[in-house]
Amino acid sequence: MKYKNDWEEAKVKWTNYWKHCNTGRPLMHVVARKPEIEHLATEKNVEGGIKDVICQGLYYDLPEQLHWKDNMEDKYRDAERIVARYRQFCETHEFLAESFPNLDIDFGPGSLAAYLGSDIGWSEDTVWFKPIYDEEDDWEDIPELTFDPENPWFKEHLALAKKCHELAGEDFPVAIPDLMENIDTLASLRGAQELMCDLAIDQDEMKERVNQVTRAYYQAMQAFYDAVKDPEGGSAYTVFQVWGPGKCIKLQCDAGAMISDEMFRNVVLDSLKEQATWCDQVLYHLDGPDNIRHLDSVLEADIDALQWTSGDAGPDGTLEEWDQIYDKAVAAGKSLWVKVYSGEYEDWIKNVDRIVKKYGSNALFLQFPEMSHEQAVKLIDYAEKNWSDVQGTFGR
């Protein structure tokens, strides 16, 4: 891999992470600015928007020829320019520890809804999916939700993945996009409020619709996996910065925040269990305090790791309050994925110290914010000296 000299060593640690038997320090996502661009880290774009900002990073001006154009075709749908912008990022950054370059080609989170008939709305900083069934539509009159390989959005998205993969070559992988699943997809097709009414009226019908979404998910996901997998069959998954030797997938049910655990078990859980078995490595994304009530149910599925998000603008994953989640996940034999960002650089180290001492280093991934080269070297050195082969106090 052009931008990751120690990729073979990193893949070994990733493989062991999913098996909960990593050795040495925990896996760490550490992306560092090269010294020559360090001065840009505190310089915000004068326009105040994102058109001149690179696809990753903090306020870095792109070369003039790579600036965003005034249309969403350029940002989301032009393979050559998407790859060129990401190359610019790779050329100016270092991928240290277990971080690795990987290209995000999302058509927004939840594009499975578009493959099932929704239209996509684009803006400079977000994507949404337009409901196609409203309160006047009765599910008895709505045809089965089936995957159509000729769906225009699917064909375009898959073609984009293949073209980006071709342009990237062996320099960096293209990540599997965030298709989403279960009632999260139904909420895009129906609208969240209407879906909650549907669930209250007929759970059996909604469970069958979830099953239909799941069958479509398999077909779409297999196509994207085949398009972007590496020569050994490994794959990266978008946003969460994970890699695995096989189908490496994130599962979730954000709309679960609006339903009881009994309804979650009746409508969603069987589908999640089935999907977790179908994939090779599974990270579950548990999002928001109202989803914590489903944790026991989620842990019944054959997931490999758990990632917790406290909600929009909430504190990071190192807060001691979240131990109630991590305790259950570790006791159930799952690895942990922990995002670190609250406070300043020194706080990151202090907060992770607590996590490592309690849960050990053999099944832990830590995602740090982008930092300077000097900070990255210091962090990795500290981790090697203080976080290596720690057994952890939990369960002892």
Residue 1 lies in a domain: no
The larger pLDDT score, comparing residue 43 to residue 254, is at 254
The per-residue pLDDT for range 160-193, each reduced to its tens digit, is 999 999 999 999 999 999 999 999 999 999 999 9
Matching residue, tokens 């655990």: 261
Residue 342 lies in a domain: yes
Distance CA 236, CA 281 (A): 10
Residue 2 lies in a domain: no
- Percentage of the chain beyond pLDDT 70 is 95
Domain limits at 225?
7-386
Confidence of residue 46 (pLDDT cuts 50, 70, 90): very low
Residue 394 lies in a domain: no
Residue 393 lies in a domain: no
The per-residue pLDDT for range 286-304, each reduced to its tens digit, is 999 999 999 999 999 999 9
Q: Which residues contact 230 (CB under 8 A, 6 or more apart)?
A: 173
**Residue 215 burial class via C-beta count within 10 angstroms: exposed 0-12, middle 13-18, buried 19 and up:** middle
CATH of the domain at 34: 3.20.20.210
Model pTM greater than 0.85? yes
Distance CA 348, CA 129 (A): 36
Residue 278 lies in a domain: yes
The per-residue pLDDT for range 316-340, each reduced to its tens digit, is 999 999 999 999 999 999 999 999 9
What is the total count of domains within the chain?
Answer: 1
Residue 158 lies in a domain: yes
Confidence of residue 51 (pLDDT cuts 50, 70, 90): very low
- Percentage of the chain beyond pLDDT 90 is 85
Instruction: Evaluate the CA torsion angle 361, 362, 365, 369 in order and state its sign.
Output: positive
- Please give the pLDDT value at position 57: 46
- Please give the pLDDT value at position 96: 98
Residue 255 lies in a domain: yes
- Please give the pLDDT value at position 37: 86
The per-residue pLDDT for range 187-244, each reduced to its tens digit, is 999 999 999 999 999 999 999 999 999 999 999 999 999 999 999 999 999 999 999 9
